[in-house]
């Protein structure tokens, strides 16, 4: 397992790679029990992230392996299919996950998303259009949605 931290336009970001997959992305510097060194997958991840942050990329092409429950995995799979520049409500994601009453569970799955941005949990908003919840703060969520020129 390897991890590396770089400064980006939205602050320091740490990316973790394990066995050829990206497993975590942290906004901020994170120290873990692993090798603090980059490799080709981490470098490619940062390259794609920088392209995204500068408006040159709308979709990531990376091997992702987030760890979570079956429900969390289902929600994260749905998030991967929300197009760039669009949003869905927690209720809409819950319905796509098979239970339109599971909005809070969707919120919890979003909060526990280990690979934010690459798995775009920032594209999920409240039913009234409010930017509710984001593990790294509403300011970052707003910046990401503004970057994607999403109408709020």
Q: Which residues are catalytic?
A: 121
**In the numeric block, which tokens belong to residue 89?**
């409500």
Three-state DSSP string of 35-70: EECCCHHHHHHHHHHHHHHCCCCCCCCCCECCCCCH
- In this structure, are residues 48 and 56 in contact, taking their beta carbons and an 8 Å threshold? no
Strand order in the sheet with 2-8: 21-27, 11-18, 2-8, 35-36
DSSP 8-state code for residue 29 = -
C-alpha to C-alpha distance for 34 and 63, rounded to whole angstroms: 19
């Amino acid at each position: 397992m390897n991890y590396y931290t770089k400064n980006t336009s939205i602050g320091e970001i740490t990316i973790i790679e394990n066995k050829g997959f990206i497993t975590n992305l942290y906004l901020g510097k994170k120290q873990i029990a692993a090798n603090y060194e980059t490799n080709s997958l981490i470098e490619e991840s940062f390259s794609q992230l920088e392209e995204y942050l500068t408006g040159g990329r709308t979709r990531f092409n990376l091997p992702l392996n987030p760890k979570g429950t079956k429900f969390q995995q289902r929600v994260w799979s749905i998030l991967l299919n929300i197009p760039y520049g669009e949003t869905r409500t927690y209720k809409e994601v819950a319905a796509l996950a098979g239970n339109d009453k599971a909005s809070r569970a969707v919120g919890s799955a979003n909060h526990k998303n280990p690979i934010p941005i690459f798995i775009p949990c920032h594209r999920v908003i409240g039913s009234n259009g409010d930017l509710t919840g984001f593990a790294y703060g509403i300011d970052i969520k707003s910046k990401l949605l503004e970057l994607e020129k999403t109408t709020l």
